[in-house]
Structure 1
Amino acid sequence: MNVLVVNAGSSSLKYQLFDTSTNTVKAKGICERIGIDGGKITHRKGEDGEKHVEEIQMANHAEATKVVIRYLTDPELGVISDMSEIEAVGHRVVHGGPYFFESCLVTDDVIEKLRLCYPFAPLHTPAHLMGLEGCMAIMPNTPQVLVFDTAFHQTMPEKAYTYPISADIAEKYSIRRYGAHGTSHRYVSEEMIKLLGKPAEDTKIVTCHIGNGASISAVKGGKCIDTSMGFTPLDGIEMGTRCGSIDPAIVTFIMKNEGFTPDEMDNYMNKKCGFLGVTHGYSSDSRDLEKSIRENDEHRADAVKATSVMAYQIQKFIGSYTAAMNGLDAVVFTAGMGENNPELRERVCTNMEFFGIKIDSEKNAKAHHQSDVVELSAPDSRVKVFLIPTNEELMIARDTENIVKAL
């Protein structure tokens, strides 16, 4: 089945056209600066084909979708002859709130419920709706499917997703742990289960999705039983610009002393903390921090502190999740830093022998910027450690195919 996978931002539209019969990408690209000056599309034929860039104004996501279709059906740059060859469209959605527990076919009722998710992801939900409505306007007869980042975490037990605040407030505003990056955690945990070679129900895995946004999940028996991100993607470990979990009293203390409004405090915690904040505004990018550490420049002390905080927090999550699952078979690293930052993985896996984790430092140092699955654990490590490149788009394509085939 030809499935178009769409990931819409407020002014962007990423796309990949999958052939699900072979799990291959036929074409991919991104429309940028939608609705603002300087719009452009970057298109590739195949996974790693030659890059074609065109500057083109796109007033909205519907116009961007038209541009995408034009490229996909182009005699030279395209991979299909007609739009009708796209059999379904799968949309990535960051937050399903309390309304969505699994991927679903788009209906009028689903769209209305998606609008209700706005308070849970105010930056993302409007963009998802624009992308969805843009595709529906251009492809009104093509089935559309929503795949939620929060869905994989819906198997968490009550004791894991409940915050110990008053029940009336929690129920009134649907406040609970929802998690994020679920599509990625699902993909890499399923791949890890295959590598372990035993029944899924007997597996205990910690998956570490470490990018500029980062989350850790405990996956027992193939199901998520806990995850580090919470009510919002601000919770959990230190990130590029996000503070992660902090003493709640710090929030009110800073607001009172700095005179911040709630929105200003929210912006501060989301955009001015993490790596960026700990390094006195130097950088939110781990590549810059690792470079400062290697070159011993003026930012080295801050860089060491910021990267050490993240590694230490990941270690604590691995330890606590090992306790929650009463055991551990494997640790998986994925996403930008997880896949391409050997120094981070080395820090996380050092002094973890008590948990049976021992890394092959030489193999780990060589594992970056490649698309292969790599075992990083030493031969005498009781727990397997793997680098598994994530493929959220493939999971979206598979879910979309399964739902549409069942119609």
Structure 2
Amino acid sequence: MKYSLTALAVTLTLAACNAQSATIEASEQAKALAKQTIIVDGHIDVPYRVNEKWVDVTEATEDGDFDYPRAIEGGLNAPFMSVYVPASMDNSPQSTQLAHMLIDSVEAIVARAPDKFAIARTVSDVREHFKQGLISLPMGMENGSPIQGDMANLHHFYERGIRYITLAHSQSNHISDSSYDLRRQWNGLSPFGKKLVAEMNNIGMLIDISHVSDDAFYQVIELTKAPVIASHSSLRKFTPGFERNMNDDMVKKLGENGGVIMINFGSGFVTKEARQWRAGMSQARNQIIKTEGADSPKLENFEATYREQNPYPYSTLSEVLDHIDHVVNLIGIDHVGIGSDYDGVGDSLPEGLKDVSDFPNLVQGLMDRDYSESDIKKILSGNILRVWSEVEDYASKSKS
């Protein structure tokens, strides 16, 4: 469907107004439940954030979406730290070096504040840290590029604490095709990628199918002997044509596998209006380049000007809940979790879920939709901890 820029601007402005009016306020009951429950977030980009511009997240910070005081306020106590390596570094020594540096940065957070944080390598660690009042920092690698086609690297990163690998990111790599990349050099997984799936099963490493192409997803499901995760993906039903999200058939296959989809909060993952806004901005920029050239002064501060004239259509907490509802309706309560993408999606977070202090708002929204306390706990952590435990158990049995 095509829109004129004027019509698109009106549509997006209305969406932004609707978002502002749909905020959910957390009750004391919701705040208490958030703090009394382990909350696992499948994907937070703190390591790359502090690598680009160092801040001490053990204390309050002025920007970003995560720091210790806000995590305590929101009840977040087991965020997976994303060890993100850009796709441009695929299969290079630089990718491996950066991954190690980002792991170092997570270890440094714990070293600065061992009374606040601890590295979590197992489900038992997460539960024990919760009892001790510590925030667990399990780690996942976003983009398998640092493996460099060498299983020894996989084992080394496991020893360093990496507990899931997102097989690809924004480009096809030596492991898998990417949902964002029109090049499908492997038509799914590479020969090495297929071997990697088996070895990840064997050592107890969670397989993350966020970012991979549809073909790669189905091949992973066919090959894996343990449940898999989508650490930060939402549903294509609400964002038609956006392959980065999962369609209903994929969600059903994930359910049959026993896995869990962890819902991404970024507005562009939640609503088609946010995706259309991004497309409209690109169209407007390209039109200026076409008519006035790449040196046009209108391109200076273009995005800020465009945002002022066309307010970004932030999604709402209610629309995030729609994604959770849809998963539950398709495959049941046991297969959905949270993968916010905090510190990774920039200024695109929904009203009511602007940073990690807002998890009680999510709990309140679930309560308002008549989810039971036991079901809310499954969404907050029970489902992902169950999958992680099953992956640990499979590896333990394969070694015996």
Q: Normalization by structure 2: what TM-score? A: 0.32
Determine which structure has more spread, i.e. the larger CA radius of gyration.
Answer: 1
**Higher percent of residues as strand:** 1
So what's the TM-score if we normalise by structure 1? Answer: 0.32
